[in-house]
Structure 1
Amino acid sequence: MSGKPSLHEIEQAEKQPLWRRLGWLAMIWTASVLALFVVASLMRMFMSAAGLTTH
C-alpha cells in the first residue's frame, strides 16, 4: 500500500476514549511549544554572541 491508514485502522482510532485523544493532542501541542522555545532561545543566544542586542 501507499502508507495510508486503512478504513479499519481509522475506525479503531475513532473508538479510542475522548480523554486519550485529547491527551495526545495536548502532548503534541506541548512538544511543539517546547521545540519552538528551544529554537528561539538558540537564535537569541547566537544573536547575543554576535553582538546583536535589543536595547
Structure 2
Amino acid sequence: MAGKDYLNDVQECEKKPLWQRIGWMLLIWTASVASLGLFAMLIRMFMTAAGMKSH
C-alpha cells in the first residue's frame, strides 16, 4: 500500500512552517543558479583556451 505512505509523507510535509518550506525552495533555486553559472564560466574558459573569443 504505497498510497498510504505517500499520503502520510505529504501530511508530514504540510506540518512544517511556511518559512522553512520557502527556505528550502530558495536554497535549491540558489544552488541551481550557481551551478549553472559555474558551468557557463567553465564552457567560456574552455572556448577561450581553444581560441574562440567573442570579439
Give the TM-score normalised by the residue count of structure 1.
0.88
Hey, what does 1:42 align to over in structure 2? 42
Identify, as 1 or 2, the structure richer in helix: 2
What residue identity is the alignment partner of 2:49?
Answer: A
What residue identity is the alignment partner of 2:9?
Answer: E
Hey, what does 1:54 align to over in structure 2? 54
In the TM superposition, residue 6 of structure 1 has moved relative to its aligned partner by: 1.4
Give the TM-score normalised by the residue count of structure 2.
0.88
Gap regions ≥5 residues in structure 2: none
In the TM superposition, residue 15 of structure 1 has moved relative to its aligned partner by: 1.2
RMSD between superposed Cα atoms in Å: 1.6
Share of identical aligned residues, percent? Answer: 51
Mapped partners of 1:53, 1:23: distance in 2: 39
After alignment, is 5-14 or 44-53 more displaced? 5-14
What residue identity is the alignment partner of 2:54?
Answer: T
In the TM superposition, residue 49 of structure 1 has moved relative to its aligned partner by: 0.3
For residues 3-49 of structure 1, give each alpha carbon's deviation from its aligned partner in whole angstroms, at most 9, with x where no partner exists: xx611111010111000000000000000001001100000000000
